[in-house]
C-alpha cells in the first residue's frame, strides 16, 4: 500500500471513531457563531441620546412661532420699453403681519410704487393689498389685507439696545423659496447704505444669509421678537443676474417701523420731517476764504422756501449773487457749520440729520452769520408721503 493511501485510510478511521464514540457532539456547536442571535456590531452611542441642543431648539421654536406670520409679496409695475410699448414688471419680496387684522410691514422697494400688490400667506391663499403709507427715507411700507379672519402675527421688539455678537434669525422667501430660515449674528451697528431714494442710515449689519426675495422680511432676536426688517445685501451676482449673499446683509431697525406705526395710528398718515431749505452749497478752503467765510467751511444756504420752518425760525438765504472762479453763488445768507453738534462737512450732512428725526422734533444748527457764530433751534414741519 502506498504511503498516501495509508494516510487517507487512517484519517477516515479516526473520523468514524470520533463520530461514534462522542455522544455529546452535535453539529450546532460548529455553526453556533453563524446562527447566534446576538449583534455582531454596536450602534453609534450618539443615537441613544437623540435630541436637539438648546440653540437648535431655540431656532425651531422661533421658526414655528413666526413662520405663519411671514408672507410673500408680489408687485406689478407697468413700464414702457424703448419702443414705448407698455409691459408689466414683477417684483417679489417678503413681509410680516403685525396684528390679527392683517396689517403688514415690508420694504418700500418691494412694492416699488405699485398699486397692484398681491400677498400670499403660508396656506397659499392670496389677497390684494392696500398701501396705507410709505416711508421712503427708511425704505418702509405699511400694507393691509382683508382676510375676514384673525391672522397670526409677530411681536415687535426693541432695536435700541442691540449688541454686536448677539444671535439673529431671518425668515423670508429668497429666490421664491418660501419659508426659509437663516441664522447669524449682529455683525455691526449703525451702518449706512446708499439706495435709489438716498442714504439709509443706522442699519443693522448681519452675516445671516439674506438673498433677493428676503427684502421686507423679519429679523428676530433669540426671544422671537422682531428687531429689524431685512433690507439689502452686498452680494456676488448669480446666474440670473441677481446678487447672492456673501455674508454681508443689512436690516432696518424695527424701531423705525414702530415710529411710523405710531404716527399712522394717531394721525392716519405717514409723514416725513421738513426744514424748508431748498438748496445748499458746500464751501470750504480757498472758496470759503474768497467769500470771507471760515476756511473750515460749511453749508451755505442758497434758498429758503416761503412759509417753511426754516423761514419761520429766521434762517437767512442769499441777498445777492457773485461769481467766484467757475462758481455762481448766492451769498449773504447763513453758513451752517454744525448740525446737531456735528460738523457740516458734506452736502448730505443736513439731509441725513433731518432723516434721523420726526416731524415736530428740533434740529440744532450752528451758523456763521455777520462774522460770528450763532446757535439756532428749528422745529421741523411735516409733509405727507405721496403714495
Q: 167-234+241-259 and 271-384 share one CATH topology?
A: no
If one counts every other C-beta atom within 10 angstroms of the C-beta of residue 383, the result is: 12
Residue 29 annotated among the catalytic residues of the structure: no
Tens digits of residue pLDDT in 313-354: 999 999 999 988 777 889 999 999 999 999 998 888 898 888
CATH T-level topology, domain 65-144: Thrombin, subunit H (2.40.10)
> What is d(CA 277, CA 304) in angstroms, rounded to the nearest whole number?
5
Tell me whether residue 12 is exposed, middle or buried, using C-beta atoms within 10 angstroms of its C-beta: 0 to 12, 13 to 18, 19 or more: exposed
Domain residue limits, the chain: 65-144, 167-234+241-259, 271-384
Residue 221 annotated among the catalytic residues of the structure: no
Whole-number pLDDT of residue 42:
47
Whole-number pLDDT of residue 34:
42
pLDDT for residue 18 is more than 70? no
Q: Where are the beta strands (DSSP E) in 242-333?
A: 243-253, 271-274, 277-283, 298-304, 320-324, 327-331
Whole-number pLDDT of residue 49:
44
The CATH class, in words, for 167-234+241-259 is mainly beta
pLDDT for residue 378 is more than 80? yes
pLDDT band at 58 (very low <50, low <70, confident <90, very high): very high
Residue 139 annotated among the catalytic residues of the structure: yes
**And the C-alpha cell for 299?**
453749508
Q: Which of 75, 94, 159, 215 is catalytic?
A: 215
Q: Which of 135, 139, 207, 334 is catalytic?
A: 139
Q: Which of 109, 114, 207, 271 is catalytic?
A: 109
271-384 CATH: 2.30.42.10
User: Between these two residues, 189 and 268, which has the higher pLDDT value?
Assistant: 189
Amino acid at each position: 500500500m502506498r504511503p498516501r493511501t495509508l494516510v487517507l485510510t487512517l484519517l477516515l478511521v479516526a473520523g468514524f471513531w470520533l463520530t461514534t464514540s462522542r455522544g455529546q457532539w452535535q453539529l450546532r456547536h460548529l455553526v453556533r457563531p453563524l446562527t447566534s442571535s446576538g449583534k455582531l456590531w454596536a450602534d453609534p452611542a450618539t443615537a441613544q441620546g437623540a435630541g436637539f441642543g438648546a440653540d437648535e431648539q431655540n431656532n425651531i421654536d422661533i421658526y414655528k412661532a413666526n413662520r405663519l406670520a411671514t408672507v410673500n409679496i408680489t408687485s406689478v409695475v407697468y413700464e414702457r420699453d424703448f419702443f414705448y410699448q407698455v409691459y408689466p414688471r414683477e417684483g417679489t419680496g417678503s413681509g410680516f403681519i403685525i396684528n390679527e387684522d392683517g396689517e403688514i410691514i415690508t420694504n418700500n422697494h418691494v412694492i416699488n410704487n405699485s398699486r397692484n400688490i398681491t400677498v400670499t400667506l403660508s396656506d397659499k391663499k392670496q389677497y390684494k393689498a392696500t398701501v396705507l403709507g410709505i416711508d421712503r427715507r427708511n425704505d418702509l411700507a405699511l400694507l393691509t389685507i382683508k382676510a375676514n379672519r384673525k391672522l397670526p402675527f409677530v411681536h415687535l421688539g426693541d432695536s435700541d439696545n442691540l449688541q454686536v455678537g448677539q444671535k439673529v434669525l431671518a425668515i423670508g422667501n429668497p429666490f421664491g423659496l418660501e419659508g426659509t430660515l437663516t441664522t447669524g449674528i449682529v455683525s455691526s451697528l449703525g451702518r449706512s447704505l446708499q439706495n435709489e431714494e438716498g442714504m439709509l442710515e443706522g442699519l443693522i449689519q448681519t452675516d445671516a444669509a439674506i438673498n433677493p426675495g428676503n427684502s421686507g422680511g423679519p429679523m428676530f432676536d433669540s426671544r422671537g421678537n422682531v428687531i429689524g426688517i431685512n433690507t439689502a445685501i452686498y452680494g456676488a451676482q448669480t446666474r440670473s443676474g441677481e446678487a447672492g449673499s456673501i455674508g454681508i446683509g443689512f436690516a432696518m431697525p424695527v424701531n423705525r417701523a414702530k415710529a411710523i406705526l405710531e404716527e399712522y395710528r394717531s394721525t392716519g398718515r405717514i409723514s416725513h420731517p421738513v426744514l424748508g431749505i431748498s438748496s445748499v452749497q458746500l464751501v470750504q478752503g480757498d472758496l470759503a476764504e474768497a467769500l470771507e467765510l471760515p476756511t473750515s467751511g460749511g453749508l451755505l444756504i442758497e434758498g429758503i422756501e416761503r412759509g417753511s420752518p426754516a423761514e419761520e425760525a429766521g434762517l437767512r438765504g442769499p441777498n445777492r449773487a457773485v461769481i467766484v472762479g467757475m462758481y455762481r453763488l448766492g451769498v449773504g445768507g447763513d453758513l451752517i457749520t454744525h448740525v446737531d453738534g456735528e460738523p457740516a462737512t458734506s452736502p448730505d450732512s443736513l439731509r441725513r440729520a433731518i432723516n434721523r428725526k420726526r416731524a415736530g422734533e428740533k434740529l440744532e444748527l450752528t451758523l456763521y452769520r455777520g462774522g460770528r457764530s450763532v446757535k439756532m433751534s428749528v422745529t421741523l414741519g411735516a409733509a405727507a408721503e405721496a403714495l
